[in-house]
Amino acid sequence: MKLTFRLIFSLFLGITIVVAIFSYIQITDERDRLQGEIERRSIILAETLKESIVTLIETGQFDRLNRILEKFGSRERLKGVAVFDALGNVISSNSSLKSQISKPPVEVINALAEKSPKSKFIKIDKEKLYIYVTPLFSEAFEEEYLIGALAFFQDSSYIDIRVKELWKQNLIRLLALTISIVAVSIIVIKWNIKAPIVRMAEWLKELRKGNINNPPSDIYVKGDILAPLVKEVTSLIKTLSMIKAKAEEEERLRATSNSLWNAEKLKEFIREELGNKKLYILSNREPYMHVRDGEQIKCIVPPGGLVTALDPVMKACDGVWIAHGAGEADREVVDRDDKIKVPPERPSYTLKRIWLTKEEEKRYYYGFSNEGLWPLCHITYVRPIFRKDDWIEYQRVNEKFANALLDEIKEESSPLVLVQDYHLALVPLLIKQKRPDAKIALFWHIPWPNPEVFGICPWAREILIGMLAANLIGFHIQFYCNNFLDTVDRFLESKIDWEHFSIERRGHVTTVRPFPISVSIEDFAFDSHNKDEIRKKLLKELGIKADYIAVGVDRIDYTKGILERFLGIERFLEKYPEFVGKFSFIQFGSPSRTHIKQYREIMEAVEELADKINWKFQGNSYKPIIFLKGHYPHSKIIPFYKIADVCMVTSLHDGMNLVAKEFVASKDDNSGMLILSQFAGASREFKDAIIINPYDIESLADAIYEALTMDEEEKREKMARMRAYIIERNIYRWIRDIIVALVSV
C-alpha cells in the first residue's frame, strides 16, 4: 500500500510540475498575444484619427472635436479618448473619461517631452487600463511643430479574466490527466509487473525447496523493466545449478574413487571402461619434437602446459596423439604413415604428425589462432587481428587434422576423441559430419570471455557451431563455462539447460563442464635430502650469491605478466632495501611465437627491464634478476622449484597456469610459498597461495615481502593443503573425469 501511495504521489507531483511549466508558457504566450493585440488596435486608431484631430485643433473646431471623441470613446473595450495641448492640459475628452484625468498621465508628459509615442498598462480608479499616447504635429507653416498629444485609454481587464480562465482549464486538465495516468499505471503494474513478480516469487519458492528449474518464460516477455532483477536471479540460478552439479559430481566421484588416482589405476580404468578402444588426442603442439644437434638428432619436449598435462595420460594408456610436426628433424624419424612411438626412452603411445606449409602455419597458427583468438580470449589489452585469409587457412588446417583422424578411426566404432584447444575449434563438426558415432570432447585450455568480447570475432557463430558438434566441452573453471553458455545464448538459436549445463541445438546435445587441469605429482619427485648442496651448486653455476631465491617459469608472452613481475621485484627492493644483496629472482623464459610483432616486442621489453633493474641493484656476485632465455626441460627446472623460497605466477589472464601446480607438486618438504595472480584459473583452487593483482605493483612488492617473512610453520601448513589438493585432483583424475563425462553423455 505504501508503494502504491508513493507511486501515485510521484506521478501526481511529476505531472503537476510538467503541466505547470507548460501552462505557464501557454499563459505567458496568450498574455503577450492579447497585449500585442491592444497595442496594434491603439496604433491603428491613432493613425486613423491623428490627421483629423490636428486639423480640428488648427481650425479651432473644438465642438466637432468633442463629438468625434464621444463617438470613438463608446467603442467596445475602449474606455476613452483624450486630446492634450503641448503643455499637457486636456483640450477635449469623451464624457466617461473626464472625471478620471483631472491631471495628465505621466505617459502624456513623456510623449510630449520626447516627441514619440508612449504606451503602458496603468490603473485608474482601480481599473486596469492600457494607455497609448501619440504626439500631434502641425505643418501649417511648412515647419513641423508640436501642438499636442492624442491618448487612447483601453480597458485591459479582460486579459486577466482570460488568464484566470486558462489557469482554471489547465487545473481541470491536470486533475483529469493525473487520474487517467495513475489509473493506467496501476493497471499496467498489475498486469505487467505484479503478475510476473508473483510468478517469480513462486519460482524462487521452488528454488528454496531445491527444485532448480528454468525461470518462467513470460517473465522475459514483459519488457525491460524487470531486466536487472531477471539478470540477478538468472545469475543466482547459474550459481545454484553449479553448486548442485558440483555436489552431485563430488558425490559420484567419492562413490567411484576409493583411492588416489595414478597411472596404473587410470590404465585399469580405461581398460574396464573402454575395453580395446584407443584414446585419440588432437592438438596443434606435439608432445615430442625432433631437432638437429650437430650431426645427431635429439628428442626434446616443447614448452607448454598442455604437453606437460597430457603426456602422462597418454603414457598410461595406449593411444594416438595427432599433432603438427614442427621439429626440423621430425620428418626424418617417422614411418611412411608419419607415425613414431614415443617417448623414445620407453615407447608408450603413437605420435602421428601433420605437416603444414609455411603459409598454413603463418595464417592458421600465427595469424588466426595467435593474433586473433589468443588476445581475444585473454583480454590483456592487446588488440586481436582478424583477416579473411587467416580464417580460410584456419578452416583448411582444421580439415587437415580432421581427415588425419578419420583415417585413424576407420576401423573403430564409436571412437573416443579428445580435441585440444582453440587451434582446432572446427574439428568436432568436421568429424561429426562423417562419423556421427564418434564421441568427441573438446577441451578449451585458455579463458573464455564474455559474449560482448567474443562477439568481436567476425566468425564467432561459425566457431561456436564447430565447437557444439562435440559431445562434451571442457573449460578449466566454472566461470568460463558460464561465459560460454551466455555466448551461445547470445549468438545461436539453442536450448540451454542451466541445471545440467548442456546445450541442445538441432537435436544434438553438448554438455559443458569445468575440468581443472592438473599435473602428475610423481613427475616432480626429487631427492630433497641434499637440498642445500643442490642450492649451492645451482647458484654457483649461475655465478650468484643469495639468501632468498624466487623463481618464475613462463613462455615469453604478454599474458604472463613478466614485466609486471619485474616491476614488482624492483619496487620490493626499493621498499625493503634490507633484501638487496640477499634476494635473487630466477626467470626461465621460453621464446614463443617470435613471428608475431607483439611477442618480439615483449621479449625485448623483458630483457631491457631486467638489465635496467640489474644495473640499478647489482653488486659483487649479486644480481637481483637472472633471466634464463631458452627452452629448458623439466629436468632442469625442477631443481630450481625445489630450492626456491618463492614461486611467482603473475599472469594477467590465464586459463589455469600449470607452473603454479608444478611448483606445489615439487615441494615434497612443504617449504616455500606461492604468489599467484587472481586472474589465473589456479587461484580458484589454491586459496592458501598469496593471491595478488599483478597490475598493482605496490601490492606485488608487499606480497614478496610477506612470502619471505611468513612464519615457517604457517608456510608448511599452507603448502601441505595445496599439495594435498593436487595429490587428490591430479592429471589422472582429470582425464578420468573427462572420459567418464564423455562416455556418459
- Which runs of E-coded beta strand occur in 63-126? 78-85, 90-93, 118-124
Res 205 pLDDT > 70: no
In DSSP notation, 161-225 reads HHHHHHHHHHHHHHHHHHHHHHHHHHHHIIIIIIHHHHHHHHHHHHHHTT---PPPTHHHHT-GG
Contact yes or no for 685/713 (Cβ under 8 A):
no
Q: Phi then psi for 243, rounded to 5 degrees? A: -60, -45
CB atoms within 10 A of CB 221: 10
Element spanning 18, H or E? helix 2-59
Q: Phi then psi for 515, rounded to 5 degrees? A: -130, 90
Q: Which of 21-30, 332-341, 417-426, 581-590 has the lowest mean pLDDT?
A: 21-30
CA dist 730 and 517 (Å) reads 8
Q: What percent of the chain has pLDDT over 90?
A: 49
CA dist 361 and 373 (Å) reads 15
Fill in the amino acid letter for 291. V
Indicate the pLDDT class of residue 345, thresholds 50, 70 and 90. Answer: confident
Q: Which is more confident, 653 or 240?
A: 653
Q: Which is more confident, 517 or 163?
A: 517
Q: How much is the average pLDDT of 692-706?
A: 97
Contact yes or no for 278/401 (Cβ under 8 A):
no
CB atoms within 10 A of CB 296: 8
Indicate the pLDDT class of residue 305, thresholds 50, 70 and 90. Answer: low
Q: Could you tell me which of 543, 647, 561 has the C-alpha nearest to residue 605?
A: 561
Res 546 pLDDT > 80: yes
Apex 213 CA angle, 212 and 218, nearest 5 = 145
Q: What is the DSSP letter of 642?
A: H
CB atoms within 10 A of CB 513: 23
What's the confidence (pLDDT) of residue 74?
66
- Start-end of H helices in 576-696: 597-617, 634-643, 658-666
- Strands 416-420 and 673-677 turn out to be unpaired
- Percentage helix, strand, coil for the chain under 3-state DSSP, each rounded to 5: 55, 20, 30
Element spanning 101, H or E? none
Element spanning 335, H or E? none
What's the confidence (pLDDT) of residue 69?
76
Express each pLDDT in 207-239 by its tens digit.
655 555 555 655 554 445 556 666 666 666 666
Q: Could you tell me which of 447, 485, 513, 370 has the C-alpha nearest to residue 680?
A: 447
Contact yes or no for 545/622 (Cβ under 8 A):
yes
CA dist 624 and 111 (Å) reads 96
Q: How much is the average pLDDT of 109-117?
A: 84
Express each pLDDT in 499-535 by its tens digit.
889 999 999 999 999 999 999 888 887 666 688 889 9
Structure-block grid coordinates of residue 249 = 559430481
Express each pLDDT in 363-388 by its tens digit.
999 999 999 999 999 988 899 999 99
* Cα dihedral: 479, 485, 486, 490 (round 10): 160
Contact yes or no for 401/424 (Cβ under 8 A):
yes
Q: Phi then psi for 347, rounded to 5 degrees? A: -55, 125
What's the confidence (pLDDT) of residue 565?
97
In terms of Cβ atoms closer than 10 Å to its own Cβ (0-12, 13-18, 19+), residue 457 is: buried
What's the confidence (pLDDT) of residue 710?
96
State how far the alpha carbon of 446 is from the alpha carbons of 136, 258, 370, in Å.
97, 31, 12
In terms of Cβ atoms closer than 10 Å to its own Cβ (0-12, 13-18, 19+), residue 349 is: buried
- Which runs of E-coded beta strand occur in 276-368? 279-283, 289-293, 296-300, 319-324, 339-342, 349-354
Which letter, b or e, does each residue of 351-373 get, where b requires 16 or more Cβ atoms within 10 Å of its Cβ?
bbbbebeeebbebbbbbbbbbbb
What's the confidence (pLDDT) of residue 136?
85
In sequence order, the β-bridge partners of residue 514 are: 475
What's the confidence (pLDDT) of residue 276?
76
What's the confidence (pLDDT) of residue 222?
45
- Which runs of E-coded beta strand occur in 216-358? 279-283, 289-293, 296-300, 319-324, 339-342, 349-354
Indicate the pLDDT class of residue 194, thresholds 50, 70 and 90. Answer: low
Domains of the chain from N-terminus onward: 37-162 (3.30.450.20), 263-514 (3.40.50.2000), 524-728 (3.40.50.2000)
CB atoms within 10 A of CB 180: 11
What's the confidence (pLDDT) of residue 221?
44
What's the confidence (pLDDT) of residue 209?
56
Fill in the amino acid letter for 319. G
Q: Which of 18-27, 76-85, 238-247, 293-302 has the lowest mean pLDDT?
A: 238-247
- Start-end of H helices in 409-459: 427-434, 451-454
What's the confidence (pLDDT) of residue 699?
96
Structure-block grid coordinates of residue 673 = 610459498
Fill in the amino acid letter for 183. A
Express each pLDDT in 236-286 by its tens digit.
666 666 666 666 655 554 544 456 888 888 888 887 877 778 899 999 999
Q: Phi then psi for 190, rounded to 5 degrees? A: -65, -45
State how far the alpha carbon of 731 is from the alpha carbons of 266, 510, 561, in Å.
10, 23, 26
Q: Could you tell me which of 296, 377, 284 has the C-alpha nearest to residue 326?
A: 284
CA dist 166 and 550 (Å) reads 84
Average pLDDT, the chain: 86
Express each pLDDT in 30-66 by its tens digit.
788 887 888 888 888 788 777 788 888 777 887 887 8
State how far the alpha carbon of 745 is from the alpha carbons of 219, 245, 509, 512, in Å.
31, 15, 8, 11
Q: What is the DSSP letter of 387?
A: -
In sequence order, the β-bridge partners of residue 351 are: 321, 340
Express each pLDDT in 467-494 by its tens digit.
999 999 999 999 999 999 999 999 999 9
CA dist 516 and 513 (Å) reads 10
